[in-house]
Amino acid sequence: MTTVHEPTTTSAPAGAPVWPASTTEPVRGDLAVGGVPLAEIADRFGTPVYVLDEAEVRARCRTYRDAFPDADILYAAKAFLCRAMAHWTAEEGLGLDVCSAGELELAVTTGFPPERIVLHGNAKSPRDLDTALRLGVGRIVIDSPGEIARLAAAVGPQGRQKVMVRVVPGINAGGHEKIRTGTDDQKFGLSLTDGHAAHAIARILGQPQLRLTGLHCHMGSQITSVRPYVVAVRRMVGLMSRLHAQHGLVLPELDLGGGHGIAYRPGDPALDVTDLARRVRTELAEACGRAGIPVPRLVIEPGRAIAGPAGVAVYRVLAVKHTGRTVFVAVDGGMSDNPRPALYGVRYAPRLIGRRGTGGPARVTVAGRHCEAGDVLATDAELPGDVRPGDLLAVPAAGAYHLSMASGYNLVGRPPVVAVRDGLARLLVRRESLEDVRSRDVGL
């Protein structure tokens, strides 16, 4: 048995790992994760199926805890949330970052401590706020001026709620324009440059029901450079310094959000968490020293960087078709379980599993089963030339923003999630069935 760090037929240079650390190749052409062969999981649970390596999730939580020992680490639930994920992250000492009453209630009913949860979002519904207050959420991030009075009224004259303010730092960072949130031309937060953030903070200070504990910023997703975070620290500390001078305000927390990029294909860059921690802590200490204010406690919100590399999607090939110069390999999933290629044009490196390919390498397009020309999971993917119907394909780095953004398109049903660890596989989330679809359709 051999350990597989980059089980791929491409010639890309070595980069961040795209497969879980537990990935091995017990038999040539087959892969196992967490000691369980992926082909065995496909036979047992059907396809498509998502495999989540529990040990990888926990190890990545500990990596953040070790890199930021004096910070609060919040797992960003939007990347992927189920009861087991909430349980694992809680056991590893992380808090939780949620965006809705649904995410919040799932976590709390699983046993996640509500005081370790932060709620944010650009358009929180009355139910979101009511649920957060009822369950005793630790922080609510104010995203717009209108939320201040709404939240104060919901808290009531005798209540108290800790809040943060989401500040737009004016930094352009992220892997695609649709996931960049640090500039003034998008829907999140209050601008640092035009004074809206400072004005909102002054209003919050006039609300005795609201206790302002710190500032929050988030620049986007799939960021692989440390520099945007260093610049964000500098700008946020500048605002904190001005607030101290104007109001005598000393804020104890600074939330830098998440957006930490991972590798999806061999050779892709990924954010170096250790380097991030070192440079952010240094810049924070120096900037606060220059400003003459205390160093706030950092809050970090990784999501993709914890769940993404821990997940593997497994599909079965349904058809192989030659159209002009393109070879289409169609699988039994697609944009209903992974919309990211259609939304952002992202690229993956699928691999044939379950048997050893005998054909030479061929460039193919791995397509989904849905009625959209844009339903493509991987373009210019390298697979054995003898790939055929019935084969299994595994897609690494599939743990984040796949099932969390899955849809009911074509009523195909969302795939199950299976956890693996120490040679055992167990079902976490069952496959969505036709009966599930019928039970929601109550009219005729």
Which residues have a catalytic role annotated? 371
- DSSP annotation of 352 reads E
Residue with tokens 């957006």: 259
β-pair type (253-255, 311-323): unpaired
SS3 label, residue 79: coil
Give the dihedral sign, CA 197/203/205/210.
Answer: negative
Residue with tokens 């954010």: 271
- DSSP annotation of 12 reads P
Contacts of 248 (CB under 8 A, 6+ apart): none
Q: How far is CA 71 from the centre of its chain?
A: 19
Residues 175, 204: Cα–Cα separation, whole Å:
34
Residues 190, 203: Cα–Cα separation, whole Å:
13
Burial 106-130 (b: 16+ CB within 10 A, else e): bbbeeebebebbbbbbeebeeebbe
Cβ neighbour number for residue 195 with a 10 Å cutoff: 10
CB 80 within 8 A of CB 400: yes
Run of H or E residues at 353: strand 351-353
Burial 214-237 (b: 16+ CB within 10 A, else e): bbbbbbbbbbbebebbbbbbebbb
Bridge partners, 180 (sequence order):
220
